Structure 1
Amino acid sequence: MSVSAPPRPVEVPLRPAVRRPVLGWRPAPADREVLWLYLLTRVGLWTTAGAVRWLFPSDGQAREPKSLLSPWQQWDWVHYLHIAEDGYFPGQAGPWTAGWDNREAFLPGFPLTLRAVHTVVPDWAAAGLLISFVAGGVAVLALARIARHHLPDPDAGRRTVLFLLLSPCAVFLAAGYTEALFLALALPAWLAAQNRNWPAAAVLACLACSVRVTGLFLAAALALHFVLTARDRRAWRSAPWLLLPALSPVLYSWFLQARTGDWMAWKHAQERGWYRDFHAPWDAWANTWEAAFGGLHPTGYALMWQAELLAMLTGVVLLALLVRRRRWPEALYTVLTLWALGTSYWYTSVPRSTLLWWPLWIGLASWSLRRPQVLTAYLCVVAPLGTVVAVTFLTGRWAG
């Protein structure tokens, strides 16, 4: 009696694992956790802004608070608003006009975005806050993915974002300022570079250059990263893409030259309005020290200059650590930023610029993973300063 052989199993071809692209927008569980953390911190900042309306009215006898969005309409926001509303040179006004506000010192990326969003969001302040809200969400997602790329711990992304969102100047990520929009372009550009997607990295860096001059430092870091990682002739075919980020500043300088006859009008506006003419680094340090401790200014301004000094020292330490670890592209980005900020008459907006130093937040996360007490100390000592800076800014005092 013959026994038939068992049926041959049908071979089902295995579906290859699909690697989620670095720039993919479909959130993983870790991404959703980061977004939840981001949302909670936004609620905290908006709650603080609401309390400021009631606790610190401009009129001590006021019986009603100011409008809901009024605490966010401070300082540089006024320049962005005027540019978005009226353009750079309304009614033939310009640097030749008495009392000129030097608005050409601000690059056009944020005002153009503000004007576009205003077409669907009638309130200008709400439009600015919406830009920063959406851009901040993109930025923290990208930052978490960069952190997970460098650190093996599954908690690396969330922890890195936590350090950023509870940093002293985190309020500027929520305000209608350029920090959130810049990070929403710069960090995905860096992610694209990590994935060797140089066209995407160049396009994003080009857009970042239209938002802040720091985009040029990002472009330099991307170029160095390319040189260090390009291994063959095929990779070098992408090299021309690295010239694209220069397009934004060239176009803006061309526009200013056509209106003012000055290719460097933006730089000269910075010098007139914010004393950003060149000084030796030691002179800038000495002038800032005198402003901070020389008793020349009211205590509120003096404290902010003390924060400028501390932020500059933090940047120098960060640079030293990056060089020690041979993280050359990040070191180049950091040293160019420090040089630009540290060679004016005195330091201005260095604490705010720490938000843009993504290696700092990744480094703190890495340190806290090795030494858990670092996170505890940060939450107990550093994070409360964020509330102080937020209240300072939201009440119209100079901050960051």
Structure 2
Amino acid sequence: MSLLVPPRQRERPASPTAVAAEEAGGKRAPWLGAADREVLWLYLLTRVGVWTTAYCTRWLFAGDGKARYTGSFFSSWERWDWWHYLRIARSGYFPDGQGPWSAGWDNREAFFPGFPFLLRAVHTVVPSWPAAGALISFVAGGVAVLALGRIARSYPPHPSRGGAGPRAALFFLLSPCAVFLAAGYTEALFLAFALPAWLAARRQEWARAAVLVCLATTVRVSGLFLAAALAVHFLATARAAASPGHWRRAPWLALPALPPLLQSWYLHAHTGDWMAWKHAEERGWYREFHSPWEAWQNTWHAAFGHSQSTGYALMCQAELLTMVVGLVLCGVLLRRRRWAEAVYIALSLWALGTSYWYTSLPRATLLWWPLWTGLAAWSLRRPRVTTAYLAVAAPLSAVVAVTFLSGRWAG
């Protein structure tokens, strides 16, 4: 049952007939059903909570504790990666002939162009750059959470199946790193393309899925992992496909490779390096290749070897814990023969788990939709899972939000 909606407003479990009509290609349910509206209501409530936290953090952590004035309204959100996106949006990748050969270069070519270019477009209407970034994340986050709820409802029926969508959304929106969905970062925009793409793939709408994954690859390299998962899902459904033209849709699967190829070509034209984005990551974030056990060992030493500041050590501890969660999730998906989603998680873990040490794994959990749909399904079978999750995750979410918004984020 829902935790936030009065009993008279709770959705009745969907009948198998209605579910089949909604997720197959037949007669569709209304554009926004009761479960969709509950998901959006949860989204709006959590946005109020996040922005309230940002407001309080700005006042509590202004300057050295003796400040009489706070920063600007959006100052708490202008952190770290935001400045890279902003510079690309303002002046492109190589302004005034600068590049990796310049002293003090910021390695901005490590970032894909989708978010900065959209930021520039929205800025033509919204004069404030941070407001434009916040608006993109707000709209994209709403699209993403709505798609997440529908994905959760698209899996095999359960007696309490009607609550799967809102439950997955609740777990996702109160997850420890949920603050990044509201920041001017790429997570919300990527999910706004990736989750509808997976929903389309579940319905075997391959052209639509491929186009959406193509858009996702303009935002993050994770789009390539999603493209691999899409190909695996295509192969897995080939035998059961009722349409004789199933294989004729296979060329669509190559479409998501186009944006990374164009990006590599553009960077090569300016730097002479086909892997310029990867080498920028190595220079700026120590993401040169190391074996998985070396990466684990280096992260463990940073977390518990007293070689780093306490804030950074805590972030490294979170990185280690997240890797364990990811490995368990991948194992569960393999055991349940959900091959495509297992491939997506495995590739994500490999990409983030083969650097010098782990970086941004907790943030990456926002992109692991099987985690949130799986937790939702588990909580419907075991009601205490919801209580346990909220009791632990909600305080962690607040801690991470304050850490990021106050400028103390080290991960």
Report the TM range for the smaller structure's normalisation.
Answer: over 0.9
2:362 aligned with 1:351, yes or no? Answer: yes
Alpha carbons of structure 1 residues 25 and 335: separation in structure 2 relative to 1, 3 Å: farther
Question: Is the deviation greater in 346-355 or in 23-32?
Answer: 23-32
Q: CA deviation at 1:26?
A: 2.5
State the partner residue of 2:193: 185
Q: Distance in 2 between matches of 1:89 and 1:156?
A: 46
2: CA distance between counterparts of 1:224 and 1:88?
34
* Per-residue deviation, residues 339-377 of structure 1 (Å, max 9, x unmatched): 000000000000000000000001111111111111101
Cα distance in 2 for partners of 1:399, 1:155 equals 36
User: Which residue, 98, 117, 125 being the options, matches 1:120?
Assistant: 125
Structure 1 residue 81 and structure 2 residue 86: aligned? Answer: yes
Q: Is 1:338 equivalent to 2:349 in the alignment?
A: yes
Aligned equivalents of 2:384 and 2:23: distance in 1? 34
Query: Does 1:248 pair with 2:259?
Result: yes
State the Cα deviation string for residues 22-60 of structure 1 (Å, max 9, x = none): 899931121111000000000000000000111001232
1:399 deviates by 4.7
Instruction: Give the Cα separation in 1 of the matches to 2:410 and 2:397.
Output: 11
Q: Quote the Cα distance in structure 1 between the aligned partners of 2:155 and 2:288.
A: 38
Q: Which residue matches 2:3?
A: none
- Residue 12 (structure 1) aligns with: none
**Runs of 5+ consecutive residues of structure 1 not aligned to the other structure:** 1-16
Moved over 6 A (4+): 21-25
CA distance in 2 between counterparts of 1:24 and 1:355 reads 28
Q: Equivalent residue of 1:100, what SS?
A: coil
Q: Which runs of 5+ in 2 are unaligned?
A: 1-17
Segment drifting more, 378-387 vs 158-167: 378-387
1:165 Cα deviation (Å)?
A: 0.4
Q: CA deviation at 1:397?
A: 1.5
**Contact 1:186/1:215, CA 8 A, preserved across alignment:** yes
**Match for 2:146: what amino acid?**
L
Residue of structure 1 equivalent to 2:339? 328
Please give the alpha-carbon distance, in whole angstroms, between the structure 2 residues aligned to 1:306 and 1:249. 32
Structure 2 equivalent of residue 223 of structure 1: 231
Distance change in 2, residues 1:57/1:301 (3 Å):
same
2:281 matched to which residue of 1? 270
How far apart in 1 are the matches of 2:410 and 2:172? 17
Structure 1, residues 93-128: CA drift from partner, whole Å, max 9, x if none?
000001100000000010011011111001000000
Three-state SS of the structure 1 residue aligned to 2:245 is: helix
Alignment of 1:91-110 (within 5 A): 91-110=96-115
Deviations 1:199-243 (A, max 9, x none): 100000001001000000000000010011124641111000000
Read off the aligned partner of 1:195 and give its amino acid letter. R
**Which of the residues 125, 146, 150 maps onto 1:141?**
146
Among candidates 201, 209, 213, match of residue 209 of structure 2: 201
Distance 1:20 1:331 in 2: 25
Deviation string 1:246-274 (CA, Å, 9 cap, x unpaired) is 00100000000011111100000000000
1:1-400 pair list within 5 angstroms: 19=21, 26-152=31-157, 153-230=161-238, 231=241, 233-400=244-411
Distance 2:409 2:93 in 1: 24
Percent of aligned pairs with the same amino acid: 70
CA distance in 1, matches of 2:30, 2:112: 28
Based on CA coordinates, which of the two structures has the bigger radius of gyration? Answer: 1
Mapped contact 1:221–1:332 kept (Cα < 8 A)? yes
SS of the residue aligned with 2:246?
helix
CA distance in 2, matches of 1:141, 1:73: 27
CA contact (8 A) 1:205 1:245 kept: yes
Q: Which residue of 2 aligns with 1:5?
A: none
For residues 349 and 195 of structure 2, the distance between their equivalents in structure 1, rounded to whole angstroms, comes to: 19
1:7 is matched with: none
Contact in 2 for aligned 1:151/1:366 (Cα 8 Å): no
Query: 8 Å contact 1:287–1:345 — kept in the other structure?
Result: yes
Distance between the aligned counterparts of 1:94 and 1:282, measured in 2?
Answer: 34
Contact 2:21/2:29 (8 A) holds in 1 = no
Q: 2:355 and 2:381 mapped to 1: Cα distance?
A: 38
CA RMSD between the two structures: 1.5
Match of 1:14 in 2: none
How many positions carry a matched residue from both structures? 384
Residue 3 of structure 1 corresponds to none
8 Å Cα contact 2:53/2:402 also seen in 1: yes
2:328 aligned counterpart, secondary structure: helix
CA distance in 2, matches of 1:39, 1:146: 20
Q: Tell me, yes or no, if the aligned pair for 1:48 and 1:391 is still in contact at 8 Å.
A: yes
Query: Counterpart of 1:330 in structure 2: which amino acid?
Result: E
